[in-house]
């Protein structure tokens, strides 16, 4: 079930202030009497709040995210089309129209601060643990960075202390694909004629970056069906289904949001920031991840004072944290 909470007012780091903005979230389990058994699950780039759909092996009674013990909550990030304030949200006013490409870039800190305001209004006194991979890992790190006394444990997965030039380059080529679509119209495209080719190509590009060469080799080889390579059919399938569920302006907003990720905010001293973390941390990396390679998680674990490092040795690439869920479940059962 998806709930919507409205913040009376929220100001982005960029200075824009909006009234009555929606924040979507889903919950599982029960809040205890002291309101401190909370686990915040932070979702990845194009996911929604329904953790029971994409992490079903981890969430539930006697699993890593044990709903008999914990009150689990997942917020939808700003900019996403799945319920929170985004480019497609209609703004109350004379026109009652969405912002489209005029939507301000939501930083990772904006997301964490907005979600903290919701937790405050829900009467939650403390977060036991925050966990997430990729974009969710960025939020997890910012939870620790911004609210040291409020959060006890963190589990960042497949993420670094900042978004690297390599990752920004992957984001930028996807932006170019969308903005060069003939239907782009500077971001004010019609619902009947959106930039589907550009958005679909961006998704195909992202999917390649989420995997590894060996995972594609193992899965597809050089097989063909009806004279079309199986890997080509796979990419085209995801081109089409992504257009059915996502919006181009939302996708660009989220890419921009990820690119803002920098725990030091440009001071080039993330090590000093991490040394101030007071939380217990389980840092999880993926050996075959080409986006956020293991040395980025090693950097986190080497500088967070109370950190433990796990490296998942699978060939799937970045998406391993969504595929090898049994292994992550075992990590959580033993560590939490």
In angstroms, rounded to a whole number, what is the distance separating the alpha carbons of residues 241 and 311?
A: 32
Listed in sequence order, the residues at least 6 apart from 228 whose beta carbon sits closer than 8 Å to its beta carbon are none
Q: Coil, strand or helix: which one is 164?
A: coil
Q: How far lies 107's CA from each of 15, 75, 96, 283, in Å?
A: 11, 15, 25, 22
In angstroms, rounded to a whole number, what is the distance separating the alpha carbons of residues 327 and 315?
A: 14
288 tagged catalytic = no
**Catalytic residue (choose from 80, 86, 134, 212):** 134
**Between β-strands 17-28 and 3-11, what pairing exists: parallel, antiparallel or unpaired?**
antiparallel
**Catalytic residue (choose from 115, 257, 318, 319):** 318
The long-range contacts involving 233-238, CB below 8 angstroms and separated by at least 24 positions, are: 235/204, 235/207, 235/208, 236/204, 238/200, 238/203, 238/204, 238/207
134 tagged catalytic = yes
289 tagged catalytic = yes
Q: In angstroms, how far is CA 96 from the centroid of its own chain?
A: 29
**Catalytic residue (choose from 257, 289, 316, 319):** 289
Kindly list the catalytic residues: 134, 289, 318
């Amino acid at each position: 079930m998806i709930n919507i909470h409205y913040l009376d007012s929220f100001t982005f780091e960029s200075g824009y202030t909006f009234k009555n903005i929606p924040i979507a979230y889903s919950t599982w389990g029960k809040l205890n009497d002291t309101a401190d058994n909370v686990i915040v699950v932070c979702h990845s780039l194009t996911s929604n709040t329904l953790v029971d759909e994409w992490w079903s092996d981890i969430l539930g009674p006697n699993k890593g995210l044990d709903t008999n013990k914990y009150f689990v909550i997942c917020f939808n990030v700003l900019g996403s089309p799945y319920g929170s304030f985004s480019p497609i949200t209609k703004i109350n006013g004379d026109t009652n129209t969405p912002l489209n490409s005029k939507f301000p870039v939501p930083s990772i800190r904006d997301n964490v601060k907005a979600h903290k305001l919701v937790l405050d209004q829900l009467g939650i006194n403390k977060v036991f643990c925050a966990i997430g991979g990729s974009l969710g890992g960025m939020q997890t790190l910012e939870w620790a960075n911004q609210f040291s006394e409020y959060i006890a444990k963190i589990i960042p997965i497949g993420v670094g202390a900042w978004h690297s030039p390599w990752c920004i380059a992957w984001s930028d080529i996807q932006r170019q694909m969308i903005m060069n679509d003939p239907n782009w119209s500077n971001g004010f495209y019609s619902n009947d004629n959106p930039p589907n080719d550009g958005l679909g190509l961006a998704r195909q590009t992202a999917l390649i970056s989420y995997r590894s060469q060996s995972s594609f080799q193992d899965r597809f080889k050089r097989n063909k069906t009806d004279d079309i390579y199986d890997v080509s059919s796979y990419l085209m399938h995801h081109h089409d289904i992504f257009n059915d569920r996502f919006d181009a302006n939302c996708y660009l907003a989220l890419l921009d949001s990820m690119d803002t990720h920098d725990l030091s905010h440009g001071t080039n001293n993330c090590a000093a920031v991490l040394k101030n973390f007071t939380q217990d941390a389980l840092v999880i990396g993926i050996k075959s991840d080409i986006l956020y390679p293991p040395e980025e998680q090693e950097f986190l674990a080497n500088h967070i004072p109370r950190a433990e490092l796990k490296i998942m040795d699978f060939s799937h690439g970045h998406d391993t944290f969504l595929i090898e869920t049994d292994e992550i479940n075992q990590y959580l059962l033993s560590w939490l």
